[in-house]
Amino acid sequence: MSSSTKASDAKKAVTLLDVATRAGVDRSVVSRVLSDDPRLSIRDETRARVLAAVRELDYRPNALARSLRTRRADTYGLLIPDFGNPVYASIIQGAEAAAIARDCVLMTGSVGAGPAQAAHHLDVIGRGRVDGLLLAGDHTAGASLEELDRRGIPWLLVNRRLPRARRWVVLDDEEAAGLAVRHLIGLGHERIAHVAGPRDADTARRRMRGWRTAMRAAGLSTPASAAVVSDYTPEGGAAATRELLTRRDRPTAILVANIAAAIGTLAVCGELGVSVPGELSVVAVHDLALAAFLRPALTTVRTPLEKLGERAIELLASTAPDAPIEEVVTGSLELVDRGSTAPPRGAAA
Amino acid sequence: MSSSTKASDAKKAVTLLDVATRAGVDRSVVSRVLSDDPRLSIRDETRARVLAAVRELDYRPNALARSLRTRRADTYGLLIPDFGNPVYASIIQGAEAAAIARDCVLMTGSVGAGPAQAAHHLDVIGRGRVDGLLLAGDHTAGASLEELDRRGIPWLLVNRRLPRARRWVVLDDEEAAGLAVRHLIGLGHERIAHVAGPRDADTARRRMRGWRTAMRAAGLSTPASAAVVSDYTPEGGAAATRELLTRRDRPTAILVANIAAAIGTLAVCGELGVSVPGELSVVAVHDLALAAFLRPALTTVRTPLEKLGERAIELLASTAPDAPIEEVVTGSLELVDRGSTAPPRGAAA
DNA sequence: CTGAAAGCGCTTACAG
DNA sequence: CTGAAAGCGCTTACAG
Mean pLDDT value of segment B108-135: 90
> Does A8 have pLDDT greater than 50?
no
Q: Among residues of chain B, what percentage have pLDDT more than 70?
A: 95
User: 3-class SS at A295?
Assistant: coil
- B105 CA: distance to closest CA in chain A (Å): 8
Q: Which residue is nearest to nucleotide C7 (CA to C1')?
A: A69
Q: What is the pLDDT of residues B34-87, one digit of tens each?
A: 998 888 888 888 899 999 999 999 999 999 999 999 999 999 999 999 999 999
> Does B168 have pLDDT greater than 70?
yes
Mean pLDDT value of segment B94-112: 95
Q: Do B149 and A2 touch (CB under 8 A)?
A: yes
Scanning every strand, the nucleotide with its C1' closest to A35's CA turns out to be D11
In whole angstroms, what is the distance from residue A207 CA to residue A301 CA? 12
Q: Which of residues 164-203 of B touch strand D (CB under 7 A)?
A: none
Scanning every strand, the nucleotide with its C1' closest to B35's CA turns out to be C11
Integer distance in angstroms from CA B26 to C1' D1?
A: 13
> Of A214-218, B98-102, B135-139, which gets the smallest average pLDDT?
B135-139
Q: What is the largest CA-CA distance in chain B?
A: 88
Q: Do A106 and B110 touch (CB under 8 A)?
A: no
> Does A2 have pLDDT greater than 80?
no
A121 pLDDT band, cuts 50/70/90, is very high
DSSP character at residue B127:
I
User: 3-class SS at B326?
Assistant: strand
What pLDDT is attached to residue B11? Answer: 66
When CB atoms are compared, the residue of B89, B126, B234 closest to A84 is B89
Domains in chain A: ranges and CATH: 16-61 (1.10.260.40), 73-170+306-329 (3.40.50.2300), 173-303 (3.40.50.2300)
Q: Quote the crossing angle between the two packed helices B16-23 and B44-57, to the nearest 10°.
A: 130
Integer distance in angstroms from CA B323 to C1' D8?
A: 27
What pLDDT is attached to residue B188? Answer: 97
Mean pLDDT value of segment A69-97: 95
What pLDDT is attached to residue A60? Answer: 94
Scanning every strand, the nucleotide with its C1' closest to B31's CA turns out to be C11
> Does A302 have pLDDT greater than 70?
yes
User: Tell me, what amino acid is at B113?
Assistant: A
In whole angstroms, what is the distance from residue B73 CA to residue B104 CA? 8
B142 pLDDT band, cuts 50/70/90, is low
Q: Do A2 and B129 touch (CB under 8 A)?
A: no
Whether the Cβ atoms of residue A339 and residue A283 lie closer than 8 Å to each other: no
Residue from A259, A262, A61 nearest B68 by CA: A61
What pLDDT is attached to residue B3? Answer: 39
The sign of the dihedral angle between the CA atoms of A272, A274, A280, A285 is positive
Q: Do B62 and A93 touch (CB under 8 A)?
A: no
Scanning every strand, the nucleotide with its C1' closest to A20's CA turns out to be C3
User: 3-class SS at B263?
Assistant: helix
Mean pLDDT value of segment A91-101: 97
Residue from B337, B328, B315 nearest B210 by CA: B328
Q: What is the pLDDT of residues B266-278, one digit of tens each?
A: 999 999 999 999 9
> Does A85 have pLDDT greater than 50?
yes
How high does pLDDT run on average in chain B? 92
Q: Which residue is nearest to nucleotide D3 (CA to C1')?
A: B26
What pLDDT is attached to residue A3? Answer: 39
Q: Do A149 and B1 touch (CB under 8 A)?
A: yes
What pLDDT is attached to residue A300? Answer: 98
> Does A349 have pLDDT greater than 70?
no
User: 3-class SS at A324?
Assistant: coil
The sign of the dihedral angle between the CA atoms of A201, A205, A206, A210 is positive
> Does A122 have pLDDT greater than 60?
yes
Q: What is the pLDDT of residues A145-186, one digit of tens each?
A: 988 998 999 999 999 999 889 999 999 999 999 999 999 999
Q: What is the pLDDT of residues A233-256, one digit of tens each?
A: 999 999 999 999 998 889 999 999
What pLDDT is attached to residue B164? Answer: 87
User: 3-class SS at B154?
Assistant: coil
Mean pLDDT value of segment A21-34: 92
Q: Which nucleotides of C are covered by protein (CB under 7 A)?
A: 1-5, 7-13
When CB atoms are compared, the residue of B64, B93, B293 closest to A264 is B293
What pLDDT is attached to residue A114? Answer: 80
Phi, psi of B78 (to 5 degrees): -140, 125
Q: Which of residues 50-109 of B touch strand D (CB under 7 A)?
A: 65, 68-69, 71
Integer distance in angstroms from CA A85 to C1' C10?
A: 39
